[in-house]
Amino acid sequence: MSLLRKLNTKAQTQSNTGFGTNTSDYGGRFVNKNGQANVEKRGVGFLERISWYHTMLAMPRWKFLSLILLFYISVNLLFASIYYTAGVEKLNGVTTTNEAEKFGQAFFFSAQTLTTVGYGHVSPGNFLMSSIAAIEALVGLLTLAIITSLLYGRFSKPTAYLKFSENAIIAPYKDITALMLRIAPFKNTALTDAEAKLTVGMAVEDNGKTTNRFFPLTLEFERINALTLSWTVVHPITEESPFYNFTKEDFETIQGEILVYVKAFDDMFSNTVVARSSYTFKEIVWGAKFIPMYHRNNDADATVLDLEKLNSFVEADISSTAGLNKAVNL
């Protein structure tokens, strides 16, 4: 049976997703696992298509700190080379005759000038050295202001801090089956009014032409009041679902992707935060069941959320209603 015939005629298509319909123009998935669009932009220069502010705010912490350290060392090496070339002996306080020590003192004088510390042990001895030091001091003031604003931006940027399960599953749900995925907060944030939206995109052949079609997925609960523990997002596979006639083999062979969009209100920032992810059909596990990831502590006075179990599931029989509660450890 073709995919077009398998698709439920009751399932409504969605045309305002922002993704193209021509499958031949698309490569790979629509959205990466980290929520970023899988798009490579060309036609403009590298510096034009990169927002350095967004890049610096979004990059991992270790990369950000490493980049600052690399910039700091590079600038000081540059100005140390300038001082050394212009004649390091023209700096007051440099008395050594060893060339390596001369460059070292020029480097540390540069560091003191760049950061406007100025201990006074070494100082400019003529107009040329004073001019170079003045330029470096200006560079230091500007870069210090930029780095301070970036640090503040990284600390003050509202972020969802949500983790998604690595896999979505087809699981037993009441007397039918359902598509499920799991979300959990991993920081000490307070998120309220959390809302989830799921859209499935599939490559469908119609009249000899393959196009992308998108279908919104109806959820058991689209909104919850507070997101403090894990949230299992459930799409019941009813007669209105585009997955109504699907089998395990369909998920293994059909090119498709589920786009996940979650937004919630962070009361600390009094702002809405957003998280995105996606699951290709190959990342959907047929016949599985998530295991609980929270439990009471030993004193029974608090709840433990075990984030290591976010993607933990067991095998479940979904071939018949008699097997709904039958599960074994993977």
pLDDT number for residue 42? 76
> What contacts 178, CB < 8 A, 6 or more positions away?
170, 171, 172, 220, 234, 235, 236, 237
Give the number of residues written for the chain: 330
pLDDT number for residue 3? 56
Q: Name the token pair of 27.
A: 């490569």
Q: Name the token pair of 173.
A: 């749900």
Radius of gyration, CA atoms only, the chain: 29
123: nearest Cα among 84, 82, 93:
93
pLDDT number for residue 18? 62
What span, in angstroms and rounded, lies between the C-alpha atoms of 236 and 210?
Answer: 27
> Angle at Cα 227 formed by Cα 222 and Cα 231, nearest 5°?
60
pLDDT number for residue 324? 39
By DSSP bridging, strand 176-185 and strand 209-217 are unpaired
pLDDT number for residue 243? 92
Strand ranges (E), 106-156: 123-124
- Per 3-state DSSP, what percentage of the chain is helix, strand, and coil (rounded to 5)? 35, 30, 35
Tell me the backbone φ, ψ of residue 248, rounded to 5 degrees. -60, -40
DSSP states of 37-56: B-----SS-HHHH--HHHHH
Contact 258, 30 (CB under 8 A): no
Domains by residue range for the chain, with CATH: 3-40+159-328 (2.60.40.1400), 52-156 (1.10.287.70)
Q: Name the token pair of 18.
A: 């922002």
Contact 109, 122 (CB under 8 A): yes
Furthest CA-CA distance within the chain:
92
What averages of pLDDT result for each successive group of 10 residues across the chain (330 residues)?
54 61 65 79 77 87 94 95 89 84 91 87 88 93 93 88 95 93 92 94 76 89 93 94 90 91 92 94 94 91 93 86 38
